[in-house]
Amino acid sequence: MKILLTAHQFFPDYRAGTEVLTYSVARELIERGHEVRVLTAHPTEQKMLDEERFDEYQYEGISVYRFYHAYTPMAGQCSMVELSFDNHLAAKHFKQILEEFKPDVVHFFHLNRLGTGLIELAVRAEIPAFMTPTDFWAICPTVQLVLSNGSLCRGPSVYAGNCVKHFAESTQNGLIAILAKYLPTTLADLLARLTQADLMPSYPHQVEVKALCSRLAINVARLNQLNKIVAPNSFMSKLLVRYGISPHLIIQASYGIDVNRNVEIAPRRSSSHPFRVGYIGTLAQHKGCHILIEAFKSLPSGRAILKIYGRTEEFPVYLSKLKQLAAQQNFIEFCGVFHNSKIAEVMADLDVLVVPSLWYENTPLVVYSAQAARCPVVASDFPGISEVVRDEVNGLLFEAGNPKDLARQLARLINEPGLAEQLSTNAQQPKSTSSYVDELLSLWTSA
């Protein structure tokens, strides 16, 4: 079978959860004899002509089509918002790939910077098309369902007025940003509705307001053309249905990870001294590593060490903030990145993994990796996580954004005899990549 996968970014430059999932599925399919190619976007600030924005490369035996994306006008499009969800240049390139590669199936893992227009092209070409939404991008322009003040968001309002407010607060300065902050969402919805109907006089960024207004309806209509949507948890399923995705399209299936089923991982019987606390993930504000550092600093000195794994180049301003928080702390170490094949070794060197996310998350793959290694997890109490990490059973949950509550749970692991061992014993073994691919193949072949 010839299979085309898509992701918003890919290895070797990007290696977060979506990239790992796409890579793992591609490798498993190739090992089974299928012909697999990946289409990815690649963020760049380099000035390029439209025809220069495409190339191809190989990564560990995977053929990759790369589209160099930038938030700058291209192919006649001037809206930066529109370029992220309905990119005409990316769609044109995708059409050429379909004509040349002639895939039997297309599976979208992420469409940011590429656009949901790719779905329409696959459907028009009568190629079965599927999607695994690895975050909330299809519904939320900022992906995370988080407002500009850091509080959680339920999702776009009727005419995306709250999205317009968020856009203004995040991109504008001075009076406009202040007005946007205090503008009621109902009035923002009215402004957006009138703008979309061309009933407003011209004003700056009008094209972006129109794009934000139309984004959700366009994405939902296109997702409803898919053969099936493979949602990783019930929170995602309910969100999609609430915003108009047909329930019969949704199949719920948790992710799979690369695990060695030939090696039996025994429950951990004792914790090390000092207690080894770990963080593995993107070093970005919404992932909450600063919450972990603040909590860790309140623990008795010398009782624990903190190992932080993540790329140090991606968000330099936030990394600087983390290092300032960790300054003069001899027991906090920034460990950089590691190849995904080393995940079991890294987990074996930890007594607990902390997932201090400040957004709903979508069941991070690292949680499954911890469970496979029988490493207890302490995580923010969000639906996408709590479906896997069950409080007081195979992990501990804490109030998101509350370093005191996180410190309390870490102190329990250090001080309560047998607690870490109990959580390790109850670790739920996750689905393998092989089993996940079995499920995908079953879906694809049925189409």
Domain count along the chain = 3
What percentage of the chain reaches a pLDDT higher than 70?
99
Provide the whole-model pTM. 0.90
pLDDT digits (tens, 9 = 90+) for 180-239: 888 899 999 999 999 999 999 998 899 999 999 999 999 999 999 999 999 999 999 999
Q: Are 228 and 252 in contact (CB under 8 A)?
A: no
Distance CA 368, CA 426 (A): 13
pLDDT digits (tens, 9 = 90+) for 301-336: 889 999 999 988 889 999 999 999 999 888 999 999
Of the pLDDT bands very low, low, confident and very high (cuts 50, 70, 90), residue 423 is: very high
Neighbours of 167 (CB within 10 A): 22
Q: Which residues have a Cβ under 8 Å from the Cβ of 245 and sit 6 or more positions away?
A: 220, 223, 224, 229
Q: What is the pLDDT of residue 268?
A: 78
Q: Is 264 inside a domain boundary?
A: no
- Is the domain of 238 the same as that of 346? no
Q: Is 267 inside a domain boundary?
A: no
Q: Is 111 inside a domain boundary?
A: yes
Task: Provide the b/e sequence for 335-358 (b: ≥16 CB within 10 Å).
Answer: beeeebeebbebbeebbbbbbbbb
Q: What is the pLDDT of residue 179?
A: 85
- Is the domain of 406 the same as that of 441? no
**Residue listed under structure tokens 């709590």:** 386
Cα 61 to Cα 16, 37, 418, distances in angstroms:
19, 10, 45
DSSP for 282-336, please give it: --SGGGTHHHHHHHHHTSPTTSEEEEEES-SSS-HHHHHHHHHHTTT-TTEEEEE
Tallying the residues shown for the chain, one arrives at 447
- Is the domain of 416 the same as that of 438? no
- Is the domain of 164 the same as that of 188? yes
- Is the domain of 41 the same as that of 109? yes
- Is the domain of 84 the same as that of 233? yes
pLDDT digits (tens, 9 = 90+) for 28-86: 999 999 999 999 999 998 899 999 999 999 999 999 999 999 999 999 999 999 999 99
Closest by alpha carbon to 332, among 364, 353, 302?
A: 302
Output the six-digit token pair for 75: 């192919």
* Domain at 89, CATH number: 3.40.50.2000
- Is the domain of 316 the same as that of 405? yes
- Is the domain of 350 the same as that of 387? yes
- Is the domain of 359 the same as that of 400? yes
Q: Is 268 inside a domain boundary?
A: no
Q: Is 220 inside a domain boundary?
A: no
Q: Give the structural domain span for 184.
A: 141-215
